Amino acid sequence: MLPSCALCGHRDAALTQPIREGESCPRCGSSWRTRATALLIMRGLGIKPRPMLELEPDHRRHGLGISDNPEMARFFYRCFNYSNSQLDVHPIVDLLNPQSSMQGLYDFVICSDVLEHVPPSAERAIASLASFLRPGGIAMVSVPVSGGETEEYYPDITDWSMLDGELHWTDASGASHIDDDPEIHGGDGLTIAFRTWGAEDFERAVLSNGFSSIERLVPCPELGVPEMPWSDQPVVIPPLMSGMWLARR
């Protein structure tokens, strides 16, 4: 039997392909990453994984998306008391200076491929995610990772601006630097990549900043989330791979 999309339930052979980005569900346009996100949230909330379109809405559960994919977000709007936000275009959630009124409001938070774009300190941003959650709440977090240690592209950066495609930045000593080829990811607003996380470094950072547990994604081919062949066939820019985790406060 062909796999079902974890969002809309459509069955299609395209869902067997381990391609992280890009629309692979012909019906709803979901990607491997958005289906994996839905899978992790359902598992974390104790919901038997199945297409989200089949779930009975439960608006007692509050969720927050940090710059979520709009096509995925519509399924969360349907199922939960959910709101989506942005990092650099309105509506804004500032992970480095969170509003105190947001503390302890949510049963789940989705933070997908965001924490590589947060300027130092990324650990403070992780602590903010934990603070948004009620006790026992969950966060789906994903970042591109390497097998080695975390690489900070701009150590001790304090200020920066983009000019003609170059990143002009200042470090804590006041010294000025220019990166003529900064790593810019797609999306709305300013999406400079500040780091590549090491997988184990990331897990330690999560557990040191407000979360009690973290577990890696377990694939679910029947819902369009096949295992990614990271070890010998990287699907993302080599030598990167994408880590996806479920963390619990």
On the question of pLDDT at 228 being above 80, the answer is no
Tens-digit pLDDT profile for residues 4-54: 999 999 999 999 988 888 899 999 999 999 999 999 999 999 999 999 999
Tens-digit pLDDT profile for residues 132-164: 999 999 999 999 888 789 999 999 999 999 999
Tens-digit pLDDT profile for residues 209-223: 999 999 999 999 999
pTM: 0.91
pLDDT-derived band at 238, boundaries 50, 70, 90? very low
CA angle 214/68/49 to nearest 5° reads: 55
The reported pLDDT for the residue numbered 233 is: 44
Please say whether the beta carbons of 247 and 134 come within 8 A.
no
Closest CA to 64 of 51, 77, 53: 77
The reported pLDDT for the residue numbered 147 is: 76
Please say whether the beta carbons of 7 and 34 come within 8 A.
yes
Mean pLDDT of 76-82: 98
Give the whole-number percent of the chain exceeding pLDDT 90. Answer: 76
pLDDT-derived band at 241, boundaries 50, 70, 90? low
SS3 annotation, the chain: CCCECCCCCCECHHHHCCCCCCCCCCCCCCCHHHHHHHHHHHHHCCCCCCCHHHCCCEEEEEEEEECCCHHHHHHHHHHEEEEEEECCCCCECCCCCCCHHHCCCEEEEEEECCCCCCCCCHHHHHHHHHHHEEEEEEEEEEEEEECCCCEECCCCEEEEEEECCEEEEEECCCCEEEECCCCECCCCCCCECCEEEEHHHHHHHHHCCCCCEEEECCCEHHHCECCCCCCCCCCCCCCCEEEEEEEEC
Mean pLDDT of 162-179: 94
Residue written as token pair 């990324």: 122
On the question of pLDDT at 242 being above 70, the answer is no
- What integer best gives the mean pLDDT of the chain? 90
The reported pLDDT for the residue numbered 229 is: 66
The overall longest dimension of the chain from CA atoms, in Å, is 61
On the question of pLDDT at 123 being above 70, the answer is yes
Closest CA to 243 of 222, 214, 220, 221: 214
